[in-house]
């Protein structure tokens, strides 16, 4: 037999306790129940309800406070993000402005260097133009100087030949050469005027330009200049004894010297006339740069 069985047998054998008389009525009398119609005090109800709902209210208030704090923090974060973006945009714009300013400064420096170089080049160009103008002026005087030299050389040669031989045939031959030279120059000036009729009255600039108006290139060599080869055709032409002093001259200016023979000092004017100048005449330029004849001072 187990202990539990033993305990149960002991309890069954225990004597029964008698209930005191009137115990139930006494207990009922001592118990007081609140009537349904009885109302509690307002203060007691408030504090009772407050104690009952305070945890919920506190939890809700804490939750709302957290929500408000989160909202404020979110708003602050949004404001900070917007300010960060603005700052980044401002920094980017400032960097772009700095790069643009640096590029503009470099461009200005480059332009200043180019301007300085252009100024130096312009100064060198002006100097070169001045030198070219001087050279052109010297070149314009060169034909006259060359013609004068050839004329003096031819006169010297003629005088030496005449004084050495004292031959009247040599004098006659020189006179015939002069006449033939005048004839050649008349043909050349006439051909130049024929060419100018189809070219607005401006004379040609060289002999090849008017080769269609010239009968033959032989007339371009002075008979006295025996050391120059005489071309039989234009393909053999290599130069002339005569000098065109005023290429492209206006036919309406008759006083301008167009053609010159440096050997005999003969001149062909723009009006088509040919003149034999003596030692008392010379060929010079006027104030407008045109070649004219005048008496030697």
Residue with the two structure tokens 């020189």 = 174
| pLDDT value, residue 90 | 86
Which residues in the chain come in under a pLDDT of 50? Answer: 37, 40
Six token digits for residue 7? 């305990």
Which residue range(s) make up the domain with 160? 141-295
The CB density around residue 127, as the number of other CB atoms within 10 Å, is: 10
Does some domain include residue 236?
A: yes
Does some domain include residue 255?
A: yes
Does some domain include residue 131?
A: no
Does some domain include residue 290?
A: yes
Distance (Å) of CA 286 to CA 199, 255, 263: 26, 11, 23
DSSP bridge partners of 256: none
| pLDDT value, residue 125 | 85
The CB density around residue 210, as the number of other CB atoms within 10 Å, is: 19
* Residue pair 224/264 in contact by the 8 Å Cβ criterion: yes
Does some domain include residue 178?
A: yes
**Sequence-ordered list of residues with C-beta below 8 angstroms from that of 167, at least 6 positions apart, any chain:** none
| pLDDT value, residue 259 | 92
Q: Where are the beta strands (DSSP E) in the chain?
A: 243-244, 257-261, 266-269, 274-276, 281-285, 291-295
Instruction: Name the DSSP class of 133.
Output: H
| pLDDT value, residue 263 | 85
| pLDDT value, residue 150 | 66
The CB density around residue 240, as the number of other CB atoms within 10 Å, is: 21
Six token digits for residue 160? 């030496």
Q: How many domains does the chain have?
A: 1
For 66, half-sphere exposure in the C-beta direction (CA atoms, 13 angstrom radius) is: 6
| pLDDT value, residue 268 | 92
| pLDDT value, residue 187 | 93
Distance CA(120)–CA(106), nearest Å, equals: 21
| pLDDT value, residue 284 | 86
**Listed residue (277, 273, 270) closest to 254, CA to CA:** 270
Does some domain include residue 273?
A: yes
Does some domain include residue 118?
A: no
Distance CA(211)–CA(188), nearest Å, equals: 10
> Phi/psi at 258 (nearest 5 deg)?
-95, -45
Does some domain include residue 22?
A: no
Six token digits for residue 96? 């772009």
Six token digits for residue 129? 């133009």
Strands 274-276 and 266-269: antiparallel
| pLDDT value, residue 114 | 87
């Amino acid at each position: 037999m187990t202990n539990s069985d033993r305990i149960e047998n002991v309890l069954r054998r225990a004597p029964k306790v008698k209930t005191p008389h009137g115990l139930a009525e006494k207990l009922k009398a001592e118990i007081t129940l609140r009537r349904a119609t009885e109302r509690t005090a307002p203060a007691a109800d408030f504090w009772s309800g407050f104690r009952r709902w305070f945890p919920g209210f506190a939890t809700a208030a804490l939750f709302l406070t957290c929500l408000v704090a989160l909202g404020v923090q979110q708003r602050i974060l949004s404001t900070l993000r917007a300010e960060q973006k603005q700052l980044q945009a401002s920094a980017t714009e400032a960097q772009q402005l700095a790069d643009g300013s640096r590029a503009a400064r470099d461009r200005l420096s480059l332009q200043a260097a180019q301007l300085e170089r252009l100024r130096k080049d312009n100064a060198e160009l002006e100097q070169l133009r001045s030198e070219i103008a001087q050279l052109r002026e010297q070149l314009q005087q060169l034909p006259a100087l060359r013609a004068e030299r050839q004329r003096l050389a031819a006169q010297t040669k003629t005088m030496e030949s005449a004084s050495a031989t004292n031959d009247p045939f040599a004098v006659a031959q020189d006179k015939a050469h002069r006449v033939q030279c005048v004839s050649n120059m008349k043909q050349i000036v006439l051909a130049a005027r024929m060419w100018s009729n189809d070219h607005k009255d401006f004379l040609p600039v060289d002999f090849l330009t008017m080769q269609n108006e010239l009968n033959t290139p032989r007339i371009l060599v002075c008979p006295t200049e025996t050391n120059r080869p005489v071309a039989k055709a234009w393909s053999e032409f290599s130069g002339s004894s005569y000098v065109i002093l005023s290429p492209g001259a206006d036919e309406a200016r008759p006083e301008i010297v167009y053609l010159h023979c440096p050997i005999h000092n003969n001149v062909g004017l723009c009006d088509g006339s040919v003149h034999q100048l003596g030692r008392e005449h010379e060929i010079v330029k006027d104030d407008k740069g045109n070649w004219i004849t005048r008496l030697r001072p």
